[in-house]
Structure formats: C-alpha cells, structure tokens
Structure 1
Amino acid sequence: MDEALDLDRYAGHLIRRAEQVHTSLWSRFVSETVTSQQFAVLNALRRSGGIDQRTVARLTSLDRSTTHHIVRRLTEQNHIRRTRDETDRRRTLLTLTPEGRLLHASLASSAEKINEDLLAVFPEEQRAVVIGVLTQLAQRLSGSRE
C-alpha cells in the first residue's frame, strides 16, 4: 500500500483523540493537579477501602507499576493510609484518610459532570450502547493481554 491511511476511520486513532478530549475536560473542569487515574484510585478506595494495591490495580485497570506510583504519591500527600493486614502481615491494606475522603468528594461531582458532557454528544437512547461498546472493547483487549 503506497498511499496514506485515513486515520479518521481507525479505532485507535479515534480512541486517542477521544482521550485527548477527556484529558482536556478533566484538567479544565475537575482538577489540574489530580489526574483521572489518581481519581480512579481514590474512587476504588472510597468504594472498597481496606484492600491491597494489587486489588486497586485490578479495580482501576491500571498496571501495577502505575498503581504503585499513584499510591505512593497519594500516600505522601496524606490521602491514603497504609496499614498491615492483621490476618496476613505480608499484605498492606490501603484506605482513604479523612483528607482523601474530602479530596474524592470535592472531585466526584465534577467527574460525573464531564462524563455526562462526553456522553451528551450521543442521543439519550444511544448512551447505554456507547458505554456497552466501550466496556466490551476495554474488557476484550485487557483480557487478551493477560
């Protein structure tokens, strides 16, 4: 093939562009200092506190290295507390500190609003389908790499 590809027909290119839109909205309307990945970790701990870092990585679909860096940073900022598991001293459990709960609460409604804004480009009856397609794509691709 000797001609240029029409990248506007390629899923990866369009996903990257959609991620750019999300990142821009996040920075503008949610936080310039807390990333959406950091928020995902805070949210996982808000939902299921007292879990280990491996579980946080699984719940957030982040790789273990990225999760480690995020947890370390949020711990240094006093948003996450690490404690030894009393039943298995080899495990460290993570919970939100009161400051972490406040941070999560301060970001959650804005995060929800930009999600609504992103979905607003679709007619109401298509939004569940869009979420379903994105979920299927994310699950299939993450499952094929494990």
Structure 2
Amino acid sequence: MARALELHQYVGHLIRRAEQVHTSLWFRHVSRDITSQQFAVLNALRREPGIDQRTLAQHTSLDRSTVNQMVRRLVGQGHLSQVRDDGDRRRTLLSLTADGSELLDSLIPPAERVNEQLLQSLTGSERALAVDVLRKIAALDGEPLDGPA
C-alpha cells in the first residue's frame, strides 16, 4: 500500500490553510477591493515614499512583475503617483497620493484586527514564537525580510 502524508502534520498544507483563513478574514473584514498584497505595497510606500518598483518589490517580498501590475492598477485608481527620477530617467519613483494615504489609513485598523484574530488562539509567548517561526520560513528563499511592510 502506498504511503500517505498526515496533512495535519504537513507544514506546506498548514501554511496553505493558514493563507486561506487569512484571505477569508481579509475579504470579510478589511477590503473586497484591496488585497493584502496591495495593502503591503501601500504600507511600504507610506514607510518609504519615493522608492522605485524594484525596491518596492524587495520591501514587500513580491516579484517585480506582480508589483508592476499592482502599481499600474493602483496608479489607475488614483492611489499612487509616479514621477521620473531626475538622477536616473530610467527609474520611476512612487508615492502615495492623498487618496492612497486616506485609503491606507482606513485599512490599517481592520488589518490590525485581522492580525489579532489570526493570533487570538495563541498565548503571548506562542504569538511571538509563531511570528518568529513564520519569519524564518519566509526567509528560506534567501531574501531577508526588511521588517514590517
């Protein structure tokens, strides 16, 4: 008889399930229009306005083509602005518009509540450990996490 994994012990399956839970909570409590990845882009630009798309991709741990599509969408929706870098005309620098800043302000409280919901079944020390373990797993691809995006 062929061997089968115990999925409730398989880390990849549990990470996928956790992502499903997060996505469901995000959709119900934060936004049906702005994804958590788009939120990360907006948040990263609040933390460091005037960065280029490559740097934005690094800060959000998203691939450059995904960031490029998100930037186009968010610019089209009036949430981001783009200007050419005077020092290097090949680079486009990104910033939140007033509308994007207002949008981010409205998303932060429910995003914090979703984060709390995800951690609520854990004790204080388990919460810190869970976040630490997830950071270590996320860094396995060799890309350091820049801190909170």
Whether TM-score is above 0.5 comes out as: yes
Distance in 2, matches of 1:6 and 1:125, equals 27
% same residue: 58
Task: Structure 1: state its 5+ residue gaps.
Answer: none
Matched, 1:89 2:89: yes
Find the counterpart in structure 1 of residue 66 from structure 2. 66
Question: What does residue range 1-146 of structure 1 map to in structure 2 within 5 Å?
Answer: 2-140=2-140, 142-143=141-142
TM value normalised by structure 2: 0.93
Look up the SS of the partner of 1:28 in the other structure: helix
Distance in 1, matches of 2:11 and 2:5, equals 13
The one-letter amino acid paired with 1:45 is L
TM value normalised by structure 1: 0.94
Displacement of 1:41 in angstroms is 0.3
RMSD between aligned alpha carbons? 1.1
Distance in 2, matches of 1:20 and 1:86, equals 43
Displacement of 1:120 in angstroms is 1.0
The count of residues paired between Structure 1 and Structure 2 equals 143
Look up the SS of the partner of 2:5 in the other structure: coil
Distance in 2, matches of 1:139 and 1:125, equals 21
Task: From the two aligned structures, give the one with the greater helix fraction.
Answer: 1
